[in-house]
Structure 1
Amino acid sequence: MQLAGLTQQITEIARQAGAFIRQERLSFSSEHIEYKDVNNLVSYVDKEAEKQIVEALHTLLPEAGFITEEGTTGQNADRTGLNWIIDPLDGTANFIHNLPVFSVSIGLADGKTPIAGVVYDINRDECYHAFTGGGAWCLRNGAVDERIAVSPATRLHESMIATGFPYSSMDRIERYLAILASLMKRTHGLRRMGSAAIDLAYVACGRFEAYYEFNLNSWDMAAGVLLVREAGGIVTDFNGGDEFLFRGDVLAGCAMQPELLAVIEEYWNNEGALPIL
């Protein structure tokens, strides 16, 4: 399998799906919304984009399985083999509310290890792509392909941090809020974009110094974590390990990542350390 050529083809597939999503946004209305839960939304756009992506990727690499957000393939993928891990529209709530922060995320993993990934920031027409050993790149406006790198920041107090808010698992919300409160006092600021894939891409290109979140799915991060690593960054789970892809908690950042990890570890597994908020 030739990853360089494969990644170029994934990039084009992501951009085509993004063009479809961008066009559908022009005529989208609230009657097209379906509710998985009150704050977990889906539309025909997600499903149709996923079908288009799956069809193209199956032709590209027939032996790979699929792990997808909308489940349009009906497959139960073997996590030990090659799998496409896809979020056809990461940031659906933003899309529905016409907030221009949503993306296409396509990752290829060998077991729990991403080996190729593309995140297409649809509204900025920035297509971030990487494969193992090839560095991380950003194709802007379909024309200029530039190598990207994480921020040179080395300390937490120099950093802008991205995160997300949990919408279903509330059993550790107090610990999450304690981390937020601590970081508000130690950083340049915290941002919540609403698309994990874009957050990770922005860490890879140096717009954010780090990103952390828990209760994620593999399709939220499969492409983005590879971008960060290939851009020179560090990616771990909340215990400092390598189980993030299917465990659901991830911390990705530049050289200051270990300092941020120490803050998370202080509160995440230590209920006695929680401050009074």
Structure 2
Amino acid sequence: MQDLSALRDQVVKLTREVGQFIQTEAAQFDVARLEHKGVNDLVSYVDKEAEKMLVATLEQLLPEAGYITEEGTKSEQSEEYNWIIDPLDGTTNFIHSLPIYAISIALQQKDELVLGVVYDICRDECYHAIAGGGAFCNQNRISVSQTPALSGSLIATGFPYYNFDLLPSYLNVMGAFMQSCHGLRRLGSAALDLAYVACGRFDGYFEYNINSYDVAAGALLVQEAGGQVTDFRGGKDYVFGREICVSNGPAVQKEMLALIAPFWKTQQPRNTGVEL
């Protein structure tokens, strides 16, 4: 495989190109071509075409890699390298002309995330990181916030849009956070929630019923920016374990996990690449 920094630069260039396609389509989006993968689980021709564009170039950049993609346009996985791709994270925002959506691309080598790119299309901010190389927004190095405690933190989360079995427990978790921090926000794009923790706009983020392609790139961004990333139990099963908790550091992470623990007893099925 080529040097990771060179590969990252090529992926950054690719996301900007595909982001331009997405923005062009946003100006003329045809709601009649909207599809439903499930209840409240929306997909557009823009998602599918963007994914095809991403895969076509990634195949040239790293021919030996496999793929875990949201729309399933390419799904063969490899034992060594796998691209984990969400071509349009925030589809519901996109179709309603709410300018909060992103492209998310991660590269995983065996069990380790080694490259992550999240392109905030509407703000033209490209977040990128390689393992051991720090995190950046465009050309500027970024780091997590220095907020020392949960009580002074702004926290992001997401709401389930299908599979509501654990909703009562999650509402209890959100209620605990509402009473323990400066505020709780829901943007509708997990990739951007994570990127914003990495650059210090949010101090933490948690969500369940989440997929690998939503969080893989952003998780690496947070780690390389100096933050903490775990599942709800403080473990490492956050890429495929369908739950994630991140923060700016050990102190806030400990407080967040302590709030979640009393209400969260059920382990969700893992997502190993096949959408549930």
What secondary structure does 2:236 align onto? coil
What amino acid maps onto 1:95 in structure 2? F
TM-score normalized with structure 2 length:
0.93
Match of 1:267 in 2: 263
Deviation of 1:195 (Å): 0.4
* Matches for 1:121-270 after TM superposition, within 5 Å: 121-139=120-138, 145-255=139-249, 256-269=252-265
Distance of 1:169 and 1:35 partners within structure 2 = 15
Is 1:77 aligned with 2:77? yes
Structure 1 outlier segments of 4+, above 3 Å: none
Deviation of 1:169 (Å): 2.0
Deviation of 1:115 (Å): 0.7
Which whole-Å deviations, capped at 9, do the CAs of 1:128-171 have from their partners, x for residues lacking one? 000000000001xxxxx100000101200010000000122222
Is 1:67 aligned with 2:68? yes
What amino acid maps onto 1:54 in structure 2? V
What secondary structure does 1:101 align onto? coil
Contact 2:172 2:263 in 1 (8 A): yes
Deviation of 1:81 (Å): 2.3
What amino acid maps onto 2:136 in structure 1? W
* Matches for 1:109-128 after TM superposition, within 5 Å: 109-128=108-127
Contact 1:210 1:253 in 2 (8 A): yes
Deviation of 1:107 (Å): 0.4
Distance of 2:53 and 2:73 partners within structure 1 = 10
Deviation of 1:32 (Å): 1.6
Match of 2:50 in 1: 49
How big is the alpha-carbon RMSD for the aligned residues of Structure 1 and Structure 2?
1.0
Contact 1:112 1:246 in 2 (8 A): no
Deviation of 1:76 (Å): 3.1
Match of 2:96 in 1: 97
Distance of 1:39 and 1:112 partners within structure 2 = 31
What secondary structure does 2:210 align onto? coil
Which whole-Å deviations, capped at 9, do the CAs of 1:166-218 have from their partners, x for residues lacking one? 12222211110001111111100000000000000000000000010011111
Query: Aligned pairs, how many?
Result: 263
What amino acid maps onto 1:135 in structure 2? G
Contact 1:164 1:212 in 2 (8 A): yes
What amino acid maps onto 1:184 in structure 2? M
TM-score normalized with structure 1 length:
0.93
